[in-house]
A = this chain, B = another copy of it.
Amino acid sequence: MSKSVRVGGHISRQFDEELDEIRSRVLKMGGLVEVQLDKVLDALRDGESSPIIDIEKVDDEINDLEMQIDEECTQILARRHPAAGDLRLIIATTKSVRDLERIGDEAQRVADMVRHAMDRDASKKAFKGLLSLTEHVKEFLHETLNTYARMKTRNAVKIMRRDQEIDSEYSRVVRRLIEFMKKDPENIADGLDVMWAARSLERIGDHCINICENVIYLVEGQDIRHQNVDEVKEQLS
């Protein structure tokens, strides 16, 4: 982590280690969420649900990590009374962990819906566009985790700008699915499963934005939630 983040400054090496430990656990948690999305991608590429059979185990690990990190953050607040940059690190981490846990839940929902549709032998046409959306959302998540790891405001703003691409791709998938469902009432069940999956992917994008906002808060000390990306850029420049 860049030293400039630690505005507060502190001389305890043990405290440094505690903060590094938390940070590495957050990244481990992020890695597990990426594993979830990789499994969904495998299923979509193979056209069969077996890669996502044991995905619940990953979700359990994610939940355990969330609770551990939260507990560590609380301990640090109680024992170390962090100030300035350290305090922001703890606050931003607690929030980001919450978002990561939600991302894990949404990834689990995507997997459930894909499996549900595949096990019902859904028409391959229903899945059109979902692979590409999943790939892009996974990439988006990966960049978000990198931004958290490196604590770079500029990267965070760049990612926030890209969220519109995910939203547009999501809208295209939904429009296509509506056409698909209108063609034949038999397509409705398949179409809805894929639509729920797409919705969850779009939500993952929203949570990534939250994490980027947390990074900006952490580094700059500014709460830029509920602003559009151009306002944010201007405010930070």
What is the distance, in angstroms, from A11's C-beta to the closest C-beta of chain B? Answer: 18
Report whether A185 and B192 are in contact in the complex, using a CB–CB cutoff of 8 Å: no
Within 8 A of B (CB), among A175-233: 178, 181-183, 185, 188-189, 192, 195, 199, 223, 225-226
Residue from the list B70, B83, B178 in contact with A188, Cβ < 8 A: B178
| Interface check A6, CB cutoff 8 A | no
Residue from the list B63, B70, B178 in contact with A192, Cβ < 8 A: B178
Report whether B91 and A83 are in contact in the complex, using a CB–CB cutoff of 8 Å: no
| Interface check A98, CB cutoff 8 A | yes
Residue from the list B70, B223, B225 in contact with A223, Cβ < 8 A: B70
- Residues of B contacting A94 with CB < 8 Å? 91, 94
Residue from the list B83, B178, B189, B226 in contact with A67, Cβ < 8 A: B226
Report whether A87 and B78 are in contact in the complex, using a CB–CB cutoff of 8 Å: yes
Report whether A67 and B181 are in contact in the complex, using a CB–CB cutoff of 8 Å: no
| Interface check A95, CB cutoff 8 A | yes
Report whether B74 and A91 are in contact in the complex, using a CB–CB cutoff of 8 Å: yes
Residue of B nearest to A227 (CB): B63
Please report the C-alpha to C-alpha distance between residue A78 and residue B87 in the assembled complex, in whole angstroms: 7
- Residues of B contacting A81 with CB < 8 Å? 81
Q: Mark A118-153, 1 if CB is under 8 A from B, else 0.
A: 000000000000000000000000000000000000
| Interface check A20, CB cutoff 8 A | no
Residue of B nearest to A8 (CB): B78
Q: Mark A50-79, 1 if CB is under 8 A from B, else 0.
A: 000000000010010011001100100110
The answer to whether residues A185 and B189 also contact, given A74-B87, A223-B71 and a CB cut-off of 8 A, is no
Please report the C-alpha to C-alpha distance between residue A130 and residue B91 in the assembled complex, in whole angstroms: 38
Please report the C-alpha to C-alpha distance between residue A24 and residue B112 in the assembled complex, in whole angstroms: 40
Residue from the list B66, B74, B84, B181 in contact with A185, Cβ < 8 A: B181
Residue from the list B77, B182, B185 in contact with A77, Cβ < 8 A: B77
5 A–B pairs (Cβ distance < 8 Å), ordered by A: A77-B77, A78-B87, A94-B94, A183-B185, A185-B185
A: residues with CB less than 8 A from B are: 60, 63, 66-67, 70-71, 74, 77-78, 81, 83-84, 87-88, 91, 94-95, 98, 178, 181-183, 185, 188-189, 192, 195, 199, 223, 225-226
